[in-house]
Structure 1
Amino acid sequence: MHLNLALPVPDPSLSHLAETRPKYLQTWLERLPVANLHESAQALLLSLAAQNRQAIADDSRQKLLELYRITVHTLTGAVKLQISDAALPLTEKQHQLATLARELLIELANGYKIVLQASSGRLLSFRGKPDQTQTMQRILSANSRLLTLCYEGYADVPTGLWSEIHQIYRYAVHQNVQDDIITDTPPASVSQLYRLCLLIATADPYRLTLGEVSKVLDLLRLYGDIAQTQPLTTPVQTNGLFLISPDKDQPPLPLFRYTGSTDPARDYLFNTLELARRLHQLFNLLKSGKSAAQLGLPGYADEATYQGLLQRLIRNWGHEPTRHFNRRGGSDDEAELCTGIRAIHGFLLAAHPTPDNTQQGTLDPDEISISTISALGRNHRTDTIATHWIVTNDSASGLALHKRNSTSVNLKVGEVVAVRSHQLPLWNIGVVRWLRNSPADQIEFGLQMLSPNPQPVWIRNAVGRIRTNQPALLLPANPILQLPQQLLVPRGVYVPDMPLELSAATNSSILPGKVLEHTHNFDLFEFQKIS
């Protein structure tokens, strides 16, 4: 099999930036000011990129790359921690760091690709096979980290990345080394790394909330080997099957969604159905009261939100999604957007003031309004404003919107927003379900609609963790859709079977009922009045 990898163009003029003596490179790497991520990443990128554009013996290049690899992994891991919980848009500093981290991983993979391309052209090599196995593992390791970094930042995957991921795996299969273990770095084989890339891509990563990509990766390290590639045959069902076209620069596509022609000689399937079944068993055990420790899971698996993540992964890997309403093309209609329960609550109160707003809105003086806090001080509040977006797609159940050069918005997957437009004249409550930050100056997101005409109310849990009055949104009942009235509250207010004090036009006590959604940002539940 002939390799056709994208390699950097040689540039001898950069030789003064490349340190090709392993001893001196090691000393330089150890002295990098890692506390200053930006400076260290920039210096490392210049040096590694310069080396990749010089003529160096393959053995020497491999030794130098092994030294670079550890530092690149350390720096990109530190950058990942800084941006993994950042809302969009990223600040200028965060954007620069994310870009540097991605370029570092690209250059690290480039170095190993140069070695692999050269060795693949030799007819005989007394060390060729072991060296090639490790080199392929290193390329896919860098590419899997790059893929994860893109998904965690809701950024587009670089052009050509998927094509090369498929190509490296196919070359390893051709050499029959795809399962050979490289013991120094888990995942330890080419096939394990390839499977990891496929699984994180099929987990619908742009719909994952902040921090969930890492949780999915932790889960895949335990159960990822259950998913397997298989030949392209005529399946009796399409649930849990994804089509891989290795000649195309794209991730696996759900088989039920694919309408083009296939090539049985080259295309193959990725089967995640058994993985979905295993996760369903795990979900049932957690739901029955088993602890994360008993199941060999990280401590955060005891949180209620983890069960929600498992349910979404089970749907992605085991069921065909059902769309209840077809989407229509964008009308370029402009929509107003207000983000966060507190901001929406303040906006609605300002639009429809009532005589007792001042009294009901008296909050603890140390309370911070996350959506409206000013950089000038803890207790200085700014006026809530609505931002303007362009509608690119709409249906009865949701919208897709985009905006360029936006610095006045703070978006996360799972965030509550209020939206209105010419087609939706009343304020409607929705939840951000997916995000894309591409190109870097544009944000695009998908919104699932919950209810129109929300009402601002105050809620209090006298014995809960948060005992002061908190802003909440009352979603009216919808007889047409047979939906009862619901309450949307900040996370931390709701406690199962614990009465709450609801203040609107009058005060009343309510008892929470069925929980409809429980996230890191909010709780949505049905309720009944008890007095």
Structure 2
Amino acid sequence: MEASSATTDDERELLAWLDGEPAATVADDLAAFRARLKPSMAGSRAGGDVRVLEAAAERVLDMAERLRPQLIAVQLPVPSELYETAERVCGALLDVAGWFAERAERERRAGGERSALCMGGLGLLSGVFVLSGLAAAPVPAGVWRQAHRLARAAELMRTAVDDPVRCAYLRLIAVAVSQPEGLTGRELAWIFEFIDARVLAVAGFETGTAAGNAASWWIDADTDIGPQAVARRPVPEGAAHGAPLWFFNPRPMAQKLGECVEWITAHMTAAELAGMNCEVEPLSAEDGGFPAGLSSLEALALLRRVRNHWMATPVREQPRRQNQYVVQVCMGLAAVWELGCSGRVEAGRTHEWVVLNESPAGLAIMSVAGAEANVEAGVALALRRDPQQPWSVCVVRWIRSEMPGQIELGLQVIGPSFQSVKVGFRGRALQQLAPALALPVMEPMRRHPAMLAPAGTYASRRFVFVRDGVGVYIAQARALGLDMQTQGVELFQYEIDPYPI
């Protein structure tokens, strides 16, 4: 973008500071940034030298990049000091994005300069989405309003499907409809890099008053709300100020993800036949153009879940009733398996949580005094209300942290009880038994017994499992297909094989 010909002394001084070395800590750098930018930009945010906007964006994005590895490395809930720093950085990102939107709206000439301003603003908002997601925090108020402003300023409905600004805006929409609160920090960072023009170019994106279908999401660009699922919230009769709604259909992108799933599956099969274990090795740019950060197995599980969300919006079939009582929680598949083997609760293995609401298929719980165990989306846990009751097995579907030190989990119940077993599949390069939880039939959701095992255990149709008890029980069974797969666990139904070989 071209610089203004009338750069003031204050702007030159501010540019010199922005080009200098940042403070040692993000918190200190943010405080200095606020002190410098607020008086300098208050009177002329949309005017003046555009280089000030670019330098401010670069500085605050640098703060976000410095925070990302810290947020990925910590367990949830995020420590209060780090949570509050991330919250303040998100506020700074949002402010600068607003300056970009204001400048873009006042830019009379359509074309390169306006597109660059819109692209810069959307890049800042992407930083807000990532930091909020890594902290399991809600997206700050005002984010969607600024995103819609930038989209309108860029006249997205008139741009080509591979236009960078269009892709940047649709990337926010695509992640928002993928249930980001159900992704781990590493998954969220990876999916933002993965969703590029190749995937977004096939997305259905149109405007109208009655467009869209059951798989679509509607967007009111005159409000501060994100995309709303047609299947969950009916399309309003008219948008604010009478403006037409935008409709986003992710189903064509889901079909594109199917190609990626097939490629990774073939890649893992070839590696298995060659005697290599690629399940834990990270993917690279050379591996089909995928971003680094996840192994083949992790990427496969993530893409399958995202594809399912894009193909059909999940809708809760059973309403949850409000409740409040304390339960014991044992976190993690390994801990639950050991609990089933020993049959007794050891000190420090369980923690108390409070149930907020529940239904036969799931419930929401909140930590009482902070969760000390490693909590992330997709992990397994066991809970019970009373010591005389059996442990129910659940999988964490989503995580929210609306304030420092507090965390809320959305759980899907997958078993009213369990037994600890070991399973081994035929055809594995490494012949070993993996710990698993044997789950009973759960009508009407599951008509066969099931196994919950570490991700990557399922390898073929036939497997054996061993259960220790009064005696040792060994059986051969046939898997009936993979029902669920997260980055840590997978669930598959089975039946006892009547003709073992």
TM-score if structure 1 supplies the norm length?
0.74
Alignment partner of 1:32 is 2:22: yes
Q: 1:199 aligns with which of 171, 174, 198?
A: 174
Which letter does structure 1 place at the counterpart of 2:10? T
Which letter does structure 2 place at the counterpart of 1:520? Q
Contact 2:426 2:462 in 1 (8 A): no
What residue in structure 2 maps to residue 159 of structure 1? 141
Q: Distance in 1 between matches of 2:446 and 2:174?
A: 37
Q: 1:427 aligns with which of 391, 395, 410?
A: 391
What residue in structure 2 maps to residue 356 of structure 1? none
Q: Distance in 2 between matches of 1:271 and 1:461?
A: 39
Q: 1:312 aligns with which of 305, 328, 337?
A: 305
Q: Distance in 1 between matches of 2:186 and 2:454?
A: 19
Alignment partner of 1:283 is 2:247: no
Which letter does structure 1 place at the counterpart of 2:147? I
Q: 2:199 aligns with which of 223, 238, 247?
A: 223
Q: Distance in 1 between matches of 2:169 and 2:445?
A: 44
Calculate the aligned-residue CA RMSD, in Å.
4.0
What residue in structure 1 maps to residue 5 of structure 2? none
Alignment partner of 1:342 is 2:357: no
What residue in structure 1 maps to residue 324 of structure 2? 332
Contact 1:283 1:310 in 2 (8 A): yes
Change (3 A) 1:512 1:309: farther
Q: Distance in 2 between matches of 1:151 and 1:307?
A: 21
Change (3 A) 1:417 1:129: same
Contact 1:336 1:420 in 2 (8 A): yes
Which letter does structure 2 place at the counterpart of 1:150? S
Contact 2:18 2:55 in 1 (8 A): no
1:446 CA drift (Å): 1.0
1:107 CA drift (Å): 3.3
What residue in structure 2 maps to residue 372 of structure 1? none
Change (3 A) 1:56 1:101: closer
Q: Deviations over 1:184-204 (max 9, x none)?
A: xxx974322221221111112
Q: Distance in 2 between matches of 1:507 and 1:460?
A: 16
Q: 2:379 aligns with which of 398, 405, 415?
A: 415
Give the count of matched residue pairs. 469
Change (3 A) 1:458 1:315: closer
Contact 2:420 2:438 in 1 (8 A): yes
Q: Distance in 1 between matches of 2:63 and 2:158?
A: 28
What residue in structure 1 maps to residue 53 of structure 2? 65
Q: Distance in 2 between matches of 1:56 and 1:146?
A: 20
State the identity %: 20
What residue in structure 2 maps to residue 369 of structure 1? none
Q: Distance in 1 between matches of 2:18 and 2:170?
A: 35
Contact 1:20 1:64 in 2 (8 A): no
1:245 CA drift (Å): 1.1
1:320 CA drift (Å): 4.1
Could you say what secondary structure the match of 2:154 adopts? helix
Change (3 A) 1:383 1:391: closer
What residue in structure 2 maps to residue 75 of structure 1? 63
- 1:321-470 equivalences in 2 (<5 Å): 321=314, 323=316, 325-348=317-340, 351-352=343-344, 383-403=347-367, 405-421=369-385, 425-457=389-421
Q: Distance in 2 between matches of 1:252 and 1:268?
A: 9
Contact 1:464 1:493 in 2 (8 A): no
Q: Distance in 1 between matches of 2:445 and 2:485?
A: 22
Which letter does structure 2 place at the counterpart of 1:412? E
Contact 1:512 1:526 in 2 (8 A): no
Alignment partner of 1:248 is 2:236: no
Which letter does structure 2 place at the counterpart of 1:317? W
Contact 2:101 2:149 in 1 (8 A): no
Q: Deviations over 1:275-321 (max 9, x none)?
A: 22222233344445588757433467772332332222222222243
What residue in structure 1 maps to residue 250 of structure 2? 272
- 1:291-306 equivalences in 2 (<5 Å): 293=286, 295-298=288-291, 303-306=296-299
Contact 1:459 1:502 in 2 (8 A): yes
TM-score if structure 2 supplies the norm length?
0.78
Q: Distance in 2 between matches of 1:131 and 1:77?
A: 26
Q: Distance in 2 between matches of 1:462 and 1:317?
A: 33
1:143 CA drift (Å): 1.5
Could you say what secondary structure the match of 2:366 adopts? strand
Change (3 A) 1:147 1:178: farther
1:398 CA drift (Å): 0.8
Change (3 A) 1:449 1:302: same
Q: Distance in 2 between matches of 1:307 and 1:469?
A: 23
Which letter does structure 2 place at the counterpart of 1:32? P
Q: Distance in 2 between matches of 1:206 and 1:390?
A: 20
Q: Distance in 1 between matches of 2:254 and 2:426?
A: 41
What residue in structure 1 maps to residue 487 of structure 2? 520
Change (3 A) 1:277 1:22: same
1:463 CA drift (Å): 12
Could you say what secondary structure the match of 2:247 adopts? strand
Q: Distance in 1 between matches of 2:306 and 2:427?
A: 35
Q: Deviations over 1:318-362 (max 9, x none)?
A: 224354x41232122333222112333444556549xxxxxxxxx
What residue in structure 2 maps to residue 171 of structure 1? 153
Q: 2:124 aligns with which of 122, 139, 142?
A: 142
Change (3 A) 1:468 1:287: closer
